[in-house]
Structure formats: C-alpha cells, structure tokens
Amino acid sequence: MGVLDHIWLGVVAVFTADPIFTLAGLPFSTTIMMVVLGFLGGIVVGATPGLGGPFAMAISLPILISIFGFEPDALLPVLGFLVGIMKGSTVGGAVPAILFNTPGTPDSLMTTLDGYPLTKKGKPGKALRIAHFSSVSGDTFSDIVLITCAPFLAILVEKFLDFPEKAALIILSLAFVSAVVGRNVWKGMAAALLGMFFAYIGTGEDGYPRLSLGTDGLAEGLPLISAVLGVLIIGEVFKALEDMWHEMREKSVITNIKMKGDQKLHFSDIRRIFPFISISAGIGTMIGALPGIGSTLAATLGYATGRKVYKGDTPFGEGAPEGVAATEAANSAVAGANLIPVLSLGIPGNVSAVFIILATESIGGFNPGPQVFSLVPDQINQEMVYAFGLFTTMIFANGLNWTFGGVFMRSMGVMVRVPKQRLLPIVLLLTLTAIYVQQTSMFAIYITLFFGLLGYLMRKLKISVLPFVIAFILANNLEEAMRQAFAVTGSDPWFLLASPISVVFIALSIVVVVFFARNQKDLG
C-alpha cells in the first residue's frame, strides 16, 4: 500500500464512514457533521470576549468522549469537532478586537492596533473582511505545509533549534515587541519586565512558591486567564467607561461609531495586503512548527516584520490595513503548523494541539510520532489513514472558513452600532463570567479586577499593554528553555552564546532595542 492509497482511505473515512443522511445522493458522514458543528461553535466562542478556542476544546473533549466512546471509530468525529473549533475560533477572535478594541484572546491583541483605528474611521466592515481574508489565507498556507512537510519539517526544526536557540528566540521576540509597539522603547521594556515579574509569582520549579508573601492564593501562581484578560479587556472597559463619562460631561451625549464609505474588499485591497500576508504566513508556519511557543509569538513577529517593511502613508498602529493582514495571517498560520510537531514527534505545538493529543491518547488507535508515516509492504498503516483523515477535516474546515466564515465576518459589522453604554457592561459581565466558569474561584475574579486596574493605569500613562501580556505568556516558556539549556550545556553560564544561531538571535535583540531607542519619538 502506497501513500496515495492511504490518502484515499483517509478521505473516504471522513466523507463516507457512518453516514447520517444523504444530500443529492452524497452521504453526509458523522465526521463532517462534527466539523460543521465545531466550526460554528468555534466562531461564536472566538467572537465572545473572554472565551477562546482552547477553553471550548477543554470543555468539549470529555463530553465528546462520553458520547462517542473509546473505540477507534470515534477518533475522526472527535478530532473533526476539535479541528472545527480551532479553525472557527481563529477567525472569530478578530471580531471583538476590531469592533470594540477588546481582544478575546492574546493572539488577537495585535489586531486591535490597526483594526480598531479602522473601525473608528468608519471602516469596520472592511477591517473585518481584511482580517477574514488574511486569516484564512495564512491558515490555508500552513495546512498545505503541514500536509506536504509534516514527516520531516519538525524534525529539521528540532535539529537546528535546541534549547539555547529557543530561549534566545523568545528573548528576541520580547525585544521586538518592547521596541516596536508603542512610542517609547523603555516604557515597552518596563512593561515586559513587569509582566515577567507577575508571571514568576508562585511558579518556582523547585517545589517552593516564590514571591507569594506567604499567601496560599498566590502560592499557586497568578491565573493566566485572569492576568491577561484583566489587562486586555477589563482595563480597556475601565478606560472606555471613563472616556464615556468625560464625553457625557462635555457634550451631554455619547457618540457612537458610524460606518462610512465602501466596506467591501476589492482586488486592489488584496493586491495591497498580499505581500504582508505572504510574509506573515511564512513566519506563523515556522513559529507553529516550534513546540510550545505558539501563535502569540507569531502574531508579534508577523506584525513587527510587516511594520519594518511597510512604506505606506498610514502608519502601523493608526489604521493601516496591512497591520491587520500581517497579524491575522501570522496567528492563523500557526493553526495548521502546530500539528507538525504533534504528528512528527508527538509534541504539542501550542495549547490547542494539547487537546488533539489528549483526544488521541484517550481514544487510542492513533499514537502521534514518526511511526505515523511509516509504510509497511502489503499492509495498511491505520495510523497514516487517521493522519490523512485529520488532514481532510482541516481542508474541509478551511472550505467552511472561506465560505460561511466570510458571511459571518461580513455580518458582524452591524455590531458596531450597539450603543457603548449597553455594550461595555455586557463585555464586562461576559469576561468575568467566562473567568469564573474556567477558574470557579472568586480569587480569580479579584485578580482579574486587579489586573484590570493595572491595565487602566498603563493606558493612562500611555504604556502599551502588549509587552506586558506577551512577557507574561512567554515568561514560563523562557524560564523552562533557559533551565534546560543551562542543563544540556553542562551548567555553562554562557549557554545563550553556545551556538551561532543563538548568538545571532541575541545580537538581533540588542540591535533592535538600540536601533529603536535611538529613533524613538516619545509622545508620552
């Protein structure tokens, strides 16, 4: 049995196995139905501030297993639903970021930098269309790379990027975001260091809590969702409420954003943003192939690279369509690429990939790793069939993204007409509810409000919250990579300079900070 035979068997398993009904003579299988349901649910989850794809996948997985059981026949329907959620939430996450400046997930934070200014200029529909086209383009590109390169790409990445190189890459990303975002490099670096400080509370790997002040609640560390959504969403809500109060005092009326002009995405727009989509799709795919790093770093590097090569009239951060395109293409390209280390090495690429592995381990019959793509003479490798079945569900979900996802994004523009005095309390309530559902603790709510106040103060002081959020998310990855690098180099204190690649990353970090510090224009 050759590779083409396994591809065909994987496609057949998705489209014809266990049909629910027939449409125009074509069977409609359980797996296809689960992909559709997961995709629709993912869009709703992604568009809801405070929720995200990993949260929905975490809730769905035990329910799916209880419904379908642990037989191998349950694998593709369960994976199909999870893939649908992953694809749908990636597109839907841009909606609150663009319309309300309240990103539902850290991945869409960079989208707010140019998406919301476009909305304030009366172009929410165009911003949503750009986000959709860029997101699905980046996702499709990464899926193509996944399908064609999964057997060997992640192995090459692992060969050339060991722990010192990964630690240096994370340092480079933090330097990029501190220097590029905002008007002041030193404010950006201060925000990043503050984010790392809070991330390291109670997270010591030696079994003893640190910086916890003897408090049981802090000994377990600050919840990621509370810190990130507090700074991102609650802080923005507090600032928006204050702005609305000042507006009422000065004008006795609350102004709402109105759509102006053409909201369609034309071929000239696509030609304008396509180079940025291409660059960011490549960056997102490469970052997605790195185990444990994920889409937040991809969005950061995609945006920073796009800003570096941009030559347009509207600066990045003031409503440049290219900024939206660069961010969405980068973070969406991770969706397919994060399965490269899963299928090639059995290592999760990001949080979403963790649930794919949990599903395969819970159900059985499919063990991700190098053996998945092994050919046995005159025999069927069932694991390869499942792998190509998984690829088929991803391609089908991409088709849903190009069609129904586009319809959804176009229709979301009307949400900008919702009065702010009604919208802001709803966003606040949804965010706090989502956090309580995930943490089931009032302590998490208190932490969220604390970080909301911190986010509000940072906005008042004109300090970008992005370096804080990125540093908080990547701090534990950085510590783990540095500990492992220190160990594998024989406790060498100069482990970050142990290879030419890590030296290049560290040198680039210094160059980025120095270059932008010399050319900064502090408007704060």
Average pLDDT over residues 496-524: 77
Average pLDDT over residues 105-126: 81
The helix (H) or strand (E) run that includes residue 75 is helix 75-92
Predicted pLDDT of residue 453: 93
Could you state, in order of their start, the residue ranges of all structural domains in the chain?
3-255+263-519
Average pLDDT over residues 15-31: 75
Task: With a cut of 90, say whether residue 454 has pLDDT above it.
Answer: yes
Residue 102 corresponds to which tokens in the numbers above?
């309240």
Predicted pLDDT of residue 524: 40
pLDDT one-digit tens code per residue, 263-287: 677 788 888 899 999 999 988 888 7
Q: What is the DSSP string of 245-300?
A: HHHHHHHSS-------S-----HHHHHHHHHHHHHHHHHHHHHHTSTTT-HHHHHH
Mention every residue, 6+ apart, whose C-beta is less than 8 A from residue 432.
Answer: 50, 234, 445, 448
pLDDT one-digit tens code per residue, 388-401: 888 889 899 989 98
Predicted pLDDT of residue 520: 63
Rounded Cα gap, residues 400 and 171, in angstroms? 37
Q: What is the DSSP string of 438-456?
A: HH--HHHHHHHHHHHHHHH
Indicate the residue type of 252.
Answer: S
Q: Can you count the helices (H) and strands (E) in the chain?
A: 23, 2
Neighbouring C-beta atoms of residue 273, cutoff 10 Å: 25
Q: pTM for this structure?
A: 0.69
pLDDT one-digit tens code per residue, 169-224: 778 878 877 776 666 888 888 888 998 898 888 866 566 777 777 677 777 778 87
Task: With a cut of 60, say whether residue 255 has pLDDT above it.
Answer: no
Task: With a cut of 80, say whether residue 251 has pLDDT above it.
Answer: no
pLDDT one-digit tens code per residue, 30-57: 889 999 999 988 888 877 765 667 767 8
Task: With a cut of 70, say whether residue 156 has pLDDT above it.
Answer: no
Query: What is the pLDDT of the chain when averaged over all its residues?
Result: 79
Task: With a cut of 80, say whether residue 340 has pLDDT above it.
Answer: no
Instruction: Mean pLDDT check: name the lowest of 206-210, 378-382, 411-415, 496-500.
Output: 411-415
If pLDDT is split at 50, 70 and 90, which confidence band does 522 have?
Answer: very low
Highest mean pLDDT among 257-266, 391-400, 468-477: 391-400
Predicted pLDDT of residue 254: 53
Rounded Cα gap, residues 417 and 395, in angstroms? 35
DSSP-derived 3-state class of residue 25: coil
Which has the higher per-residue pLDDT, 247 or 443? 443
359-387 exposure pattern, b = at least 16 Cβ within 10 A, e = fewer: bbeebeebebeeebbeeeeeeebebbbbb
Rounded Cα gap, residues 206 and 468, in angstroms? 25
Task: With a cut of 50, say whether residue 164 has pLDDT above it.
Answer: yes
